């Protein structure tokens, strides 16, 4: 079976969630990747390592305009005869996959968390991570948008051939005026390690406690909703049911009570560490490791311990 996977190659390197999408597609059939822009052939050829046989690249336009990408992917699907199309359910996938599903009349499984089961249903996360659903697609064509960080990338070897093609993407109707990518920051949705602070840290002047630990670990930083609402931290750091939902390998929460709405955004983390003065804080029920103690004392000690560990490893 021919499977098409859309890859964003506009950045300096291809992100890990793209390799996850290729790995996923490889489990379903023979993989062609499709992308656009100026990325050089050698960068695209490495998609072969994860199972892509071929990469189609439309060099006539750059960027991530959702209408152009939709048209290009539809053209590529026709060209390779793919009935299954895989996206990463990142910000681009969320904008493009729904459009494409209407254009191609293909049922969309948004937020897939694993490969299809024997009966063909695909597992997805629902109720903000509080449950799974199993989705059946009722159309011949289907689109699966895979949640970032939900499967392991697998290297199967090989190099993909890179072929230029005309995706008939048309013109963009959206003008990009300015792009701000804060330097040095690790984008939260992709971060593997996250250090997060709540109201227990008392005020923005104390955030060095969080930032120092994050820096030592190479982690991204996050916060609870009241912290963002009080402008102690920028609102893109707000995680939870009404903020960003994340699934890092490690989530360290200091001075956060663990309200159900907060947990909804972080419960897919592989390992959770909770630091809280109150041994009855609900977060301890969702934690793997807990430290009952004052974050103002524990965080510096933890930062020191990480420093020591890094020095000796």
Ligand X SMILES: Cc1cc2nc3c(=O)[nH]c(=O)nc-3n(C[C@H](O)[C@H](O)[C@H](O)COP(=O)(O)OP(=O)(O)OC[C@H]3O[C@@H](n4cnc5c(N)ncnc54)[C@H](O)[C@@H]3O)c2cc1C
Q: Which of residues 133-192 bind another protein (CB under 8 A)?
A: 133-139, 173-182, 185, 187, 189-190, 192
| Per CB under 6 A, 241 contacts ligand X | yes
Site string for another protein, 74-113 (x = CB under 8 A): ----------------xxx-xxxxxxxxxx-xxxxxxx--
| Per CB under 6 A, 196 contacts ligand X | no
Structure-token pair, residue 223 = 């916060």
Q: Packing angle between helix 91-103 and helix 66-80, nearest 10 degrees? A: 60
| Per CB under 8 A, 13 contacts another protein | no
255 binds, among ligand X, another protein, none (CB under 5 to 8 A by kind): ligand X
257 binds, among another protein, ligand X, none (CB under 5 to 8 A by kind): ligand X
Closer residue to another protein, CB minimum distance, 164 or 309: 309
Out of 62, 66, 154, 159, which residue is the one contacting another protein (CB under 8 A)?
A: 66
Tell me which H or E stretch contains 208: helix 208-217
| Per CB under 6 A, 199 contacts ligand X | yes
- To another protein, the closest distance from the beta carbon of 59 in angstroms equals 22
Closer residue to ligand X, CB minimum distance, 159 or 294: 294
Which DSSP string corresponds to 252-313? EEES----HHHHHHHTT-SEEEEEES-TT-GGGGG-SEEEES-HHHHHHHHHHHHHHHHHH-
Closer residue to ligand X, CB minimum distance, 105 or 279: 279
| Per CB under 8 A, 15 contacts another protein | yes
Q: What's the rounded Cα separation, in Å, for the pair 110 and 103?
A: 16
Residues in the chain: 313
Structure-token pair, residue 141 = 């064509």
Q: What's the rounded Cα separation, in Å, for the pair 260 and 99?
A: 32
- To another protein, the closest distance from the beta carbon of 164 in angstroms equals 25
| Per CB under 6 A, 284 contacts ligand X | no
Q: Dihedral, CA atoms, 133, 21, 99, 109, nearest 10 degrees?
A: -10
| Per CB under 6 A, 240 contacts ligand X | yes
Whose tokens are 């052939």? That residue is: 41
DSSP SS3 for 233: coil
Report the site for ligand X in 41-70 (rule: CB under 6 A).
none
| Per CB under 8 A, 280 contacts another protein | no
Nearest to 292 by CA among 305, 303, 277: 277
Note whether 300 and 209 are within 8 A (CB): yes
Out of 130, 203, 208, 278, which residue is the one contacting another protein (CB under 8 A)?
A: 130
| Per CB under 6 A, 139 contacts ligand X | no
DSSP SS3 for 103: helix
Nearest to 269 by CA among 282, 257, 255, 252: 252
Interface ranges with ligand X (CB under 6 A) = 198-200, 224-227, 240-243, 255-257, 259, 261-262, 265, 275-278, 281, 294-296
């Amino acid at each position: 079976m021919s499977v098409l996977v859309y890859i964003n190659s506009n950045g300096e390197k291809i992100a890990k969630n793209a390799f996850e999408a290729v790995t996923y597609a490889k489990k379903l059939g023979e993989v062609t990747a499709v992308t656009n822009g100026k990325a050089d052939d050698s960068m695209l050829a490495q998609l072969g390592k994860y199972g892509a046989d071929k990469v189609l690249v439309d060099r006539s336009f750059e960027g991530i305009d959702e209408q152009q990408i939709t048209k290009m992917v539809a053209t590529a699907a026709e060209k390779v005869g793919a009935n299954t199309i895989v996206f990463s359910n990142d910000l681009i996938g969320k904008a493009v996959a729904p459009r494409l599903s209407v254009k191609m009349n293909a049922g969309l499984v948004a937020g897939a968390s694993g490969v299809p089961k024997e009966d063909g249903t695909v597992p997805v996360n629902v109720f903000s991570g509080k449950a799974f659903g199993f989705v059946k697609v009722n159309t011949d064509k289907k689109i699966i948008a895979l949640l970032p960080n939900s499967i392991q990338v697998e290297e199967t070897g090989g190099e993909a051939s890179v072929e230029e093609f005309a995706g008939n993407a048309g013109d963009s109707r959206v003008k990009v005026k300015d792009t701000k990518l804060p330097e040095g920051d690790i984008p939260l949705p992709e971060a593997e390690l996250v250090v997060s602070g709540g109201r227990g840290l008392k005020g923005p002047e104390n955030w060095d406690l969080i930032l120092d630990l994050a820096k030592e670990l190479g982690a991204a930083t996050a916060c609870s909703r009241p912290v963002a609402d009080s402008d102690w931290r920028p609102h893109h750091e707000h995680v939870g049911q009404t903020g960003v939902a994340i699934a890092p390998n490690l989530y360290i929460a200091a001075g956060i009570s663990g309200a159900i709405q907060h947990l909804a955004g972080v419960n897919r983390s592989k390992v959770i560490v909770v630091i809280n003065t109150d041994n009855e804080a609900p977060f301890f029920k969702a934690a793997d490791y807990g430290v009952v103690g004052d974050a103002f004392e524990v965080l510096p000690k933890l930062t020191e311990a990480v420093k020591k560990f890094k020095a000796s490893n």
